[in-house]
Every structure is written in C-alpha cells, then in structure tokens.
Amino acid sequence: MHEPADREHREAPGTGIPAQRLWVSLPGDLARRFRPHAGNLGKEILRAIQREVPEYAKPLEGAFGAVIIKAIGEAVIGSIDSIDGRPSTQDNWGELFRDLGRGVQKGGGSLDSLQASYRVGGQAAWRYVAGWGQRTGMPIPLLCVCAEAIFAVIEEISSYSVEGYTVAQTSAAGALERRRRRLLELLLATPPSSPQGIADAADAAGWRLPEWVNAVALAPPGEQQADELPPAGLPADVLVDLESTQPCVVSPDPESDLRQLRPALPGWHLAVGPRVRPADTATSLKWACRTLRLARRGVIDARPVADSAEHLSTVWLMHDDFLLAELTRRALGPMTGLTTKQREKLGETLLAWLEWAGSTPEIAKTLRIHPQTVRYRVHQLTELFGDRLHDPAARLDIQLALHAHRLRGTWPPAA
C-alpha cells in the first residue's frame, strides 16, 4: 500500500478519519477495474434508499431526492476515482453537500431522512463493493480499507449537510422570529393597527390569525431579568416577548397554553387579560398588567394564575386613585367629622350592612359583635346618612367606596 505525499489529505469533519487518505492508500488499478460497475452501483444506491427511507420512497426522477441519491453515488464513485489520480469532486464536497442540507431544510424535508439516506446509501455501496471484491479475489485487508473509506466518505458528506441544514434552519428561524415580533408589535400598537395589516403580518409570520386572543402579562421571579431566560418549551401558537420592560405573550387558547406556560416559566407571575378581538390586544394586555400588579401585591389571589375575568370589579376599583378620592368625598362625606376609631367601626358595619342587605344576625356573625351592637351602630349610620341609605344609587356608591378602601388597605376611609 502507498500514500503519495503530494496528495491533499482531508480529515472527515468531527472524526479525525482521513477519508481521502484511505482511498489513495489502495492499489492504483483498483479504480480502473471497478469503473465499469459505477452505473450499477448508482442504481443499487437508488434502490436501497427508496426501499428503506420512506421520505424518498416514491419515484424520484427530477425531484430533489434524486439529486441527493446522485450526489451520494458520485461521492463514492469520485472517491474511488481518486485512487488512480482521476479528477475528483472531493474539493467541491463541502459546498455541494452544504447546499443539499440547505435545500432539504428550505424544502421542508427532514434532516433525519437526509442522514438516513446517506447511511443507507453507504451501506448499499459497501455491500456492492464487498460483493465485487469477493468475486474478484480482493484480499480481506483491502476490503476492510474499502469499507472504512466508504463510511468515512459518508460521515464527511453527512457532516457537511448537517452544517448546511442547521445554518438554513437558524436563518429561517431568525427571519420567522422577526416576523412574529413584528406581528406582536402590530397587535399591541396604540392606536390599534388595521385588521388587514394584522392579517397580512400574521400570514407572513405563519401564524393562524384567531378570532379571539388573550394577552398574558408576565413577571420574572425575584430580581431575575426576563431576557436572561430563553423561551424554551413555550407553546408554538403563542406570540412571545420576554425582552421588553413588560414581558408578555399573546395566546389564542389560554386554557391550553397556560398548561405549558407555567412549567416553561417556573416561578414567574402570570396574569391573563380579557378575551378580545386581535385588534384590541393592547387593551387585553393593559388589564392583564393591572391584574398582575394587584396579584403581586397580594390584593387578589394569583394561584396558580391571576385571571382578570375573575377580578374585574377589583381591578376596576383599584385602577384610578383620583376617581376613588372623588367617590369617597361624595359617598362618605357624612363620616368626615368622625374620629378614626369611629370611622373604622361604623365603616365596617356599614359595609357589612350593605353586603348582607341589612340582616342583623349575619352582620353580627361577620363582625363578631352582639346583635344589639349592630342595631346601635345602624341607628348611628341612619342619623349620619339619612335617606341616602334608601337610595339605590347612593347605596352603590357607598358600597364601592368602602369596598375599594378595604381592598387598598386604606382603612378606615378618610372622607
């Protein structure tokens, strides 16, 4: 065996196996004797791949699969040609098989099927060469070198295609992510984007535009920054933004998506906004954010997720400080001259009286005081508020003001 010093020795990527060195170590007349069998070798590779790789099982003349099979055949045959110094295509393998990998990815093909076709093609080539070698009396050591050389070639071209496929996949994922980010920006725009603009952006992002959506506001646990965590494991149908000052997702099916969001974002705080049309997504996020803030303050129950739909009145009452101050001044004005202790006792009695529709036993049970004490306080309240306690609109204002102050922890209310 020989190993010409003037030949370039290429290492198979990732293996350290000198694929070309194995070929040129074989006797020079081997390729000349095998050359008439090249056509049959190609056909055998074709039949094996079509038989064993489902994605390439159909007739492939003119299809991309045929290009793959032809390239594998040429790689093996070209390697054999290099034994006797014929011009080899090995120098072009890198770009050729990277292109194949890119083409499979762009065409929606499977990387597993592509690699399987290489593996099956290599096995078919080896079976053919081994059979030919045995028939022609090739020594066993030479057959072993042929086997090692064939599989080194297959590993090398497979590595190139994986590289091409991965680069194309990364590029496509980046472009798709940019389009999805643009779609999310349109959905959250204020004033709202046009429905047609949203529809076009959804189509470009490959996102099926639903009839209804919910925005989900997110907050990372503790001091952790949102952009430190990758969105791995998040549902495929949600639009995600973990990098802005207000992380969020937009979900067409929150009931289903939340089952994946919670384990994918362990320790995060989540609040779901109201269900809205896509053009009103910004409104849903606004109320989701308000709900999230209240949940983090402990004003509303956030286990396991705070849903604004279950706390609408609370979120509303906690929203506007100015309106609450005005409502308090108008609705609770009669309590202005009372001491803090008097406002506390009469305020809690008045709220219980409104909540229990004047039922003395229930009020007494709720406040843990004697029924006679309830009657005494209600008499005081009647003197303070007079006919307001019999006016439905006034009663509603009073109850809202008292309830809001209890939620906020600003008790007793200062009128």
Cβ–Cβ under 8 Å, residues 25 and 145: yes
pLDDT at 22 over 70: no
Task: Assign domain 210-317 one CATH number from 3.30.565, 2.60.40, 1.10.3470, 3.30.70.
Answer: 3.30.70
Mean pLDDT of the 334-352 span: 92
pLDDT in tens, 192-245: 888 888 998 899 888 999 999 999 999 988 655 544 444 566 788 899 888 888
pLDDT at 46 over 50: yes
Domain spanning 321-408, CATH architecture: Orthogonal Bundle (1.10)
Q: Which comes out higher in pLDDT, residue 89 or 189?
A: 189
Mean pLDDT over all residues of the chain?
Answer: 80
pLDDT in tens, 381-410: 999 999 999 999 999 999 999 988 888 888
Q: Residue 81's closest CA among 30, 150, 146?
A: 30
Mean pLDDT of the 330-354 span: 92
Amino acid, res. 220: P
pLDDT at 127 over 80: yes
Q: Where are the domains of the chain?
A: 19-171, 210-317, 321-408
pLDDT at 145 over 60: yes
pLDDT at 59 over 70: no
Long-range contacts of 326-332, Cβ-Cβ distance < 8 Å, separation of 24 or more:
327/397, 327/400, 327/401, 327/404, 328/401, 328/405, 328/413, 328/414, 328/415, 329/415, 330/397, 331/394, 331/397, 331/398, 331/400, 331/401, 332/398, 332/401, 332/402, 332/413, 332/415
